[in-house]
Chains A and B, each alone.
Chain A
Amino acid sequence: MGGYILKRLLAAIPVILGITVIVFLIMSLIPGDPATAILGSYATPENVEKLNRDLGLDKPLVSQYFIWLGNMVQGDFGRSFSLNRPVLDEVLERFGATLILAGTSLVLCSIFGILAGVISASRQYGLADKAITFVVLIGISIPSFFLGMMMILLFAVKLRWLPVSGMYAIYGGGDLPDLLRHLAMPAIALAVVATGVIARLSRSAMLEVLRQDFIRTARAKGVKENRVVWRHALKAAMVSIIPVIGVQAGFVLSGAVYIETVFQWPGVGRMLVTAILTRDILLVQGGVVIVAACYVLFNLAVDVAQSLLDPRVKI
């Protein structure tokens, strides 16, 4: 097992390097003088000259890349000029908030998606199946940012159950119940689409599995039908559901950008949008690399979970 994880970790290195190459190439598309673009309104001649020296911007593209990579490996992602603090500090702080939001959403959509999918499949063409299919269809069609706004109107403005925005109350609060109250709406709004997708795929994965011979064997043994569905079939279906959850994690992370904007959640997504609008290039660059690298590691964890579940996967 340990060897397997190590092998996967080593295999992740080229992927992460690839990510840095792609980000680097994209950033080299910036029109005009890069130092001026990065510094924006801070572009005094001294600043431009210092940045050129730090990032090797006067050197050829290839050496620029390696200087940049070398800096990142040492934990130096540059400095955000609009915030006047190191990019890494800012990104890590914001990323924590995003993880709370996206992580909660991922848990929600996994649980409810799988539940809905299993119930739907085990009552195929029944009332529950039709109802779930319909709700799922609406769920995957509604833009999360619009849903979020409608939830604000209903739950925060009209019913006054939940706070409109933010992660903590400005005065007081800051404890767990306060966090949960602020988290509820954005986490649900963010989870809806992914729940629908997971429900759909769980349903078809379950239908696929329920036709297998080993399900007939379980029934021939006299195993209770609930157990046939929730243990035998679901366990086998999980083999194809887990990768879907891995993919959905990417979508949840992406959706977080919108939801953080709608609910003014202090996460990395909103940070990126603001950074783009204020042309804080280094902050965008660092944020994208760090989050994408974490996503690669998360997918690695999904693969490991997959291999733990399925003894047939060669470790």
Chain B
Amino acid sequence: MNAGAFLKLFARNRLAAAGGLILVFVVLIALAAPILPLQDPYAQDTADKFLRPFSDGHFLGTDHLGRDILSRLIWGTRLSLVVGLVASFGAAFFGSIIGIVAGYFGGRTDNWLMRGIDMLMAFPYILLALAIVAALGPGLTNALIAVAVVNIPFFARNIRGVTVTLAHKEFVDAARLSGMTDIRIMLSEILPNVLPVIVIAMSTTVGWMILETAGLSFLGLGSQPPVADLGSMLGEGRNALITDPHASIIPGIMIFVIVMSVNLMGDGIRDALDPRLRSGALTRPMARTLVDRDAVPEPPANPALLDLQDLRTEFRVGNRTLKALSGVSLEVRPGECLGLIGESGSGKSVTALSVMGLVASPPGVIAGGAVRYAGQELLGAPFSELRELRGNRISYIFQDPLATLHPLYTVGDQIVEAIQAHRSTPNAQARARALELLNAVRIPNAERRLGDYPHELSGGMRQRVGIAMALANEPDLIIADEPTTALDVTVQAQILALLDDLRRDRGVAILFITHDFGVVAQLCDRVAVMYAGRIVETGPTDAILDAPAHPYTRRLIACVPRLGEGRRALHAIPGLPPAVDDLPAGCAFAPRCDKATDACRTGEITLAKSAANRAVRCLYPEGDVA
């Protein structure tokens, strides 16, 4: 990021900019103190002590010795800022030396230095500062030293972390080989690279250090009379807090203003430098995907178990819109298994998650279409209705069960929860049911496994738990989003066999998302092929496997490894699927299709019925299907 972009981002954060302005103003006034027409901050006039603010000749009043508070405030601010800055530089200087040396040399040196730093950090910081002041004696310089020392570990740790990653980069090795001395390498190669970290660390601590030195002065351990920084002004004012509060309120507010503006600026700098904030990656998904659609499609004449109608899901990031789904329609009938197949990025998972409003939002938005469960429209339904269906009538099995199971709950608790989310089953009964489910998904030693945490199970066992959880409420439909992808081949086969049995025994419908035609062939009655956010071909599994109509389908099928041939033809489809924010006009597959003509690249190509129960989105379908 260049300086201009940084400033722009920084300015966009209005609070940070306000903090910056205030700070600049305070600093300017403090700098100008010698040339401002201020009264002598030390001139006492006991006759005029504790004058209220706005008195004649004393804009902010006078203190207990009749000294002008405005003048003392500005000089005090100047002193506090200087002391805070010097302490900050001191801590940064020594902390960086320790950090760079430890990180650069590593090994023993690193170990001993960091041990020492850890020891320093074992103190509540002020105890260390107090001990130092106790040894050196009260006084502003000593307080400054104490505050600087206490903050050294923070710098040492941060700088060491960065240096360690730098110490083994090529350019450092190259410098070493060229015979540069260690000191020169640290100064000329490492230091410039850690400088930004030092600056950030300083910007986050300088406010602290101003506050801490003011604190020590407040306790009477810092600046000694008659010299006063903000802290000792506050400390002196405290003696007359009840009778003459203005003498403490004024310096107190000044400290507050300085620390607050430094904090605001520090936050602004951090935000501007953090790429995650800009990309919106730090937003939390809401309980359901946002829906922002103009019209609801007419309900189908004879509704299936699940109907997706012209579903359009987008990701809105900043002012870009990525169309993940551009009109997906499909239906799942009771007890049927529909395979939804495509490469990663084709939109198959987004389709699956859109059904129950589980697409992370922001940035996901359902921009059009409808989802109907047994005729009931879900996208516009109140959240309570949607939640009632989730995991109850329609449940999910996700890809990576280590990430999708809660790491801190036992599997038993997680299954029990799935049951109790929808029924008020007593605990003991729910537990018995959970055991039953674990047995049903063929987990050995089910009784004992109930008390295990997900990380204690193997990948295959975890996925069985995921399946058990999906079955908990005898759903009508299970949406399985690549449930076997993360597993090795033998376990994959077992899980598929299990799903197939469950489907036949319980009559539950499955929407099976995968990128693997081999899996579809084993499990699914029908298949829908997705490409670039659209369905390009649908039909009965056998028919499509025998005679794929879409060139893309043909290539996908060609990717399936045959027995004994190992993994073959990974590159059977040249090129990559198009980015969904940059879809070509016409057929999205055209850039990778060897039959593409100019006609393919213009105009919309519809999903046309090609044979019994089959449809294809292609101008020149394969073979005799056309």
**Could you tell me which A residues sit within 8 Å of B by CB distance?**
15, 18-19, 21-23, 26-31, 121-122, 124-125, 137-138, 140-143, 145-146, 149-150, 152-153, 157, 164, 204, 206-208, 210-225, 228, 232, 235-236, 239, 249-251, 253-255, 257-258, 261-262, 269, 272-273, 275-277, 279, 281, 284-285, 288, 291-292, 295-296, 299, 309-312
The reply to whether B408 and A211 contact each other, CB–CB distance below 8 Å, is no
- Residues from chain A with a CB closer than 8 A to the CB of B238 are 149, 262
Across the interface, which residues of B come within 8 angstroms of A262, CB to CB? 238
13 example contacts (A-B, Cβ-Cβ < 8 A) are as follows A27-B134, A29-B135, A153-B242, A217-B406, A221-B469, A223-B418, A235-B409, A255-B126, A275-B134, A276-B133, A281-B135, A285-B134, A295-B122
Chain B contacts for A220, CB-based, 8 A: 356, 358, 390-391, 395-396, 398
Interface of chain A, main secondary structure: helix
A250 in contact with B125 (CB, 8 Å): yes
Q: Does B404 contact A213, Cβ atoms closer than 8 Å? A: yes
Determine whether the beta carbon of B398 is less than 8 Å from that of A276: no
Q: Is the CB of B255 within 8 A of A146?
A: yes
Is there an interface contact between A258 and B218, defined as CB atoms closer than 8 Å? yes
- A311 contacts B455, CB within 8 Å? yes
Q: Are A15 and B287 in contact, CB atoms less than 8 angstroms apart? A: no
With contact pairs A145-B234, A221-B421, A273-B220 given, residues A216 and B126 touching in the complex (Cβ less than 8 Å): no
Contact B283 A124 (CB under 8 A): yes
Q: Does more than half of chain B's interface fall in helix, strand or loop, or is it mixed?
A: helix
- Ranked 5 nearest A-B pairs via Cβ: A254-B126, A18-B119, A141-B260, A146-B252, A210-B284
| B404–A137 CB distance below 8 A | no
With a CB–CB cut-off of 8 A, which chain B residues contact A250? 123-125
- Chain A residue nearest to B220 in the complex (CB): A277
Q: How far is the CA of A19 from the CA of B169 in the complex (A)?
A: 36
Of the candidates B115, B131, B418, B455, the one whose C-beta lies within 8 Å of that of A23 is B131
Find out whether the CB atom of A143 lies under 8 angstroms from the CB atom of B421.
no
B62 at the interface (CB under 8 A from A): no
Q: A153-B242, A217-B469, A288-B127 are in contact. List 16 more A-B contacts (CB 8 A).
A: A23-B131, A27-B134, A124-B283, A137-B267, A141-B259, A206-B284, A216-B285, A217-B398, A220-B391, A225-B287, A232-B406, A254-B126, A276-B133, A277-B221, A285-B134, A292-B124
CA distance A279 to B136 in the complex (A): 10
A222-B123 contact in complex given A122-B284, A217-B398, A275-B134, C-beta closer than 8 Å: no
Query: In angstroms, how far is the closest chain A Cβ from the Cβ of B179?
Result: 38
Interface status of B588 (Cβ within 8 A of chain A): no
A295's nearest neighbour on chain B, judged by CB, is B124
Q: Report chain A residues within 8 Å CB of B403.
A: 212-214
Interface size class of B (residues with CB under 8 A): 35 or more
Question: A251 touching B122 by the CB < 8 A rule?
Answer: no
With A142-B256, A220-B396, A239-B408 known to touch, is A153 a contact of B391 (CB < 8 Å)?
no
State whether A146 and B234 are in contact (beta carbons under 8 Å apart), knowing that A152-B241, A222-B390 are contacts in the complex.
yes
In the complex, chain B residues whose CB is within 8 Å of the CB of A228: 287
B96 at the interface (CB under 8 A from A): no
Question: Closest residue to B400 on the A side, CB-wise?
Answer: A213
State the CA gap A200–B219 with chains docked (Å). Answer: 29
By a CB distance below 8 angstroms, the chain B residues around A224 are 387, 421
Q: Which residue of B lies closest to A207 (CB)?
A: B284
Cβ-closest chain A residue relative to B406: A214
- Within the assembled complex, what's the spacing in Å between the Cα atoms of A311 and B137? 49
B interface residue numbers (CB < 8 A to A): 15, 115-116, 118-120, 122-128, 130-138, 207, 211, 214-215, 218-221, 234, 238, 241-242, 245, 248-249, 252, 255-256, 259-260, 263-264, 267, 282-285, 287-288, 356, 358, 360, 383, 387-392, 395-396, 398, 400, 403-409, 417-418, 421-422, 453, 455-456, 469, 472
Bound Cα distance from A262 to B239, whole angstroms: 10
Contact B390–A221 (Cβ < 8 Å):
yes
Contact indicator B421/A311 (Cβ below 8 Å): no
- Cα(A262)–Cα(B241), bound, Å: 11
CB distance from B474 to the nearest CB of A (A): 13
Known: A142-B256, A221-B395. A288 touches B131 (CB 8 A): yes
- The answer to whether B126 and A257 have CB atoms under 8 Å apart is yes
Chain B CB count within 10 A is highest, among A19, A214, A225, for A214
Docked-complex contact A221 and B284, CB < 8 angstroms:
no
- Would you give the shortest CB distance from A154 to chain B, in whole angstroms? 10
- Report the separation of the CA atoms of residues A125 and B438 in the bound assembly, to the nearest whole angstrom: 41
Which A residues lie within 8 Å of B248 (CB)?
A: 146, 149
Q: Contact at A15–B119, with CB atoms within 8 Å?
A: yes
Closest residue to B415 on the A side, CB-wise?
A: A221
* Cβ of B178 to closest chain A Cβ, rounded Å: 40
Asked whether, in the complex, the Cβ of A254 is within 8 Å of the Cβ of B133, the reply is no
Name the residue on B nearest A252 (C-beta).
B124
Does the CB pair B221–A276 fall under 8 Å?
A: yes
Q: Is the CB of A273 within 8 A of B221?
A: yes
A164 to B238, CA, bound (A): 13
Give A18 Cβ to nearest chain B Cβ, in Å.
4
Closest to B136 in A: A29
Question: Which residue of A211, A258, A275 is within 8 Å of B285 (Cβ)?
Answer: A211
**Closest-CB distance, B54 to chain A (whole angstroms):** 19
Chain B residue at minimum C-beta to C-beta distance from A156: B242
Find out whether the CB atom of B119 lies under 8 angstroms from the CB atom of A19: yes
Contact between chains at A218 and B406 (CB < 8 Å)? yes
